[in-house]
Structures are given as structure tokens and as C-alpha cells.
Amino acid sequence: MSRAIGVFDSGVGGLTVLRELRRALPRESTIYLGDSARMPYGGLLIETIRRYTLEGLDYLRDQGVKALVLACNSATSAALEAARARYDLPVVGVIEATARGVALSGSTRVGVVGTEATVSGGQYLKAIASYRPDVEVLQQACPRLADLVERGETRGLRVELLLESCLRPLKDREVETLVLGCTHYGFLRSSIQRLMGPEVKVVECGPSVASAIAVLIEEGAIERGNEESPSHRLLTTGPAWSFGRAAAILWPDEQPEIETVTVGMDNDKFRRQAA
């Protein structure tokens, strides 16, 4: 059996990246870890996000994965460099691949919505400018939105009002492309598309990241898996039922088993708070 690809997010958001990874690479096994007990990461100190992320990645490394995917923009902003220095494995973040795709798409005015950590880190600005300095990039933080998604609240008045206030400035500036710079927002994609209008291209991180990993496999930087029936383990530090509800949206024909695990020292305290 070949080794799995490890995928990490603060919670359920990275499942939207995992879905694309599974579509693009159907013979690869995966192990996904969502740190739901300690999410949202987006409003935390960068040092805290980095520590939590490395604890999660250590856990995946200890499962024997062959590559690590940071399927979280906040974790990528805070910890990609530290992760690359720490592990003797290929580590792929979401920002570089997504920014490259957007920069080369021909749009001249791009909006990015994300958490406070991602917006303040400014890595989409830098990455897009490195390919196309003439592209205007407008960022907008959407505090609390990922948290609602994590709790299964993907529609209703509260979500609509939050989306409306977060998207309005970007709509008013007539962005041509909108990057969902938080993987949780993939669960809100149709509402976001409706609010932005059909002329705006809404871009999620998953497809670009899946292509970037496919390229690394093609180049031999990640060992190729060739499973007839690959396995897909889903691990969470939070409640299995809420994680299972998100997975059921993306894979309605599967009833995946959700494993609950403990990661990091602060976990129990947060788990009690969440209960």
C-alpha cells in the first residue's frame, strides 16, 4: 500500500480542497485532519496559528504521510515557511497555487475574501504581484464567517447579512474575479456567486492546489500512489457529528467514519469550552 497525502485545516474548510484533490488524483489515499476544537484560527495571533498548525502537521507526519497540504489560508499565511523548514516532506500551501492561477487568468481587478490572519498577512497581494504587478488586488476580511460554516450555518439571515457586508465593498469596486481566500467559504459558494453576480468569476483554492500536487507527482517530487481502492481517513479534534455533517455535503453517497483525535496541549481546554 502506498503512503497517503496528509491534508490539514483548522476545521471542515479544507474538505473543499480534499474534494478537488480526490477528483484530480483518484488513486491517491489521503488522511485529513481538521482542528475543529481550536478553530477559528483566523482571529488568533500569528504565533498561535503557527503553533497549532505545526502540532496538526506533526500529527499527520507521525501517521506516515508522504506529503503535507495546508488546506487553510490562515495556516498557510502563518506557518508555510516554518513547516517547510521542519519536515523532510513536500509541503504545499493554498495561497501560491491559487494566486498563480488568478494572476495568469487575465483579470485586472481581483478581490480576495479571507480571515483577518490571511488579509493582514497580505500574501495574496505579494504572490499575485510577483506574476502580474499590474493586477489590482482588493482584500476584505470576513470575521466570524468561517466559524458559522464550521457550525453548519451555511444559509439564513445571519450568513446573508455577513456576506452582504463583506462582499459589498468588492462588488462596488467591480472586481472581475473573487478569490475565496478561506477554504471554509467554499461551502458558501453559491450564495457568494449570487451576491456578486454572474459576471464575477468566483475562484476556490481546491482546483489550483490539486493541480499543483498533480504536477509535483508528475515531476517525481511526491511519490505516485496507485491504489485501486484508496483510503480516505477523516480525523477531527472536535465533535465527530458536526464534522460528519460537512463531509456529507461534499460526499453525499459515502458514510465516512470520522475519527476523533487529540492534538496539542491546549486541546482539552478548548474541547471543554466547545462542549
Q: Which residues are marked as active site?
A: 72, 182
The DSSP secondary structure of 11-79, one letter per residue, reads SSTTHHHHHHHHHH-TT--EEEEE-GGG---TTS-HHHHHHHHHHHHHHHHHTT-SEEEE--HHHHHHH
Instruction: Provide, rounded to whole angstroms, the least separation between the CB of residue 164 and ligand DGL.
Output: 20
Interaction pattern, residues 170-209, with ligand DGL; x per rule: CB under 6 A? ------------xxx-------------------------
**Residue whose CB is less far from ligand DGL, 119 or 217:** 119
Interaction pattern, residues 110-149, with ligand DGL; x per rule: CB under 6 A? ----xx--x---------------------------x---
Site for ligand DGL in 95-114 (CB under 6 A): 114
Q: Which amino acid is at 179?
A: V
Q: Which residue from 6, 8, 13, 258 is in contact with ligand DGL, where contact means CB under 6 A?
A: 13
The DSSP secondary structure of 181-248, one letter per residue, reads -SGGGGGGHHHHHHHH-TTSEEE-SHHHHHHHHHHHHHTTSSPPP--SS--EEEEESS-HHHHHHHHH
41 touches ligand DGL by CB under 6 A: yes
Return the C-alpha cell found at 250: 461534499
**Residue whose CB is less far from ligand DGL, 43 or 256:** 43
Start-to-end CA span in the chain (Å) = 38
* Position with the least CB separation from ligand DGL: 42
Chain residues binding ligand DGL by CB under 6 A are 9-11, 13, 39-42, 72-74, 114-115, 118, 146, 182-184
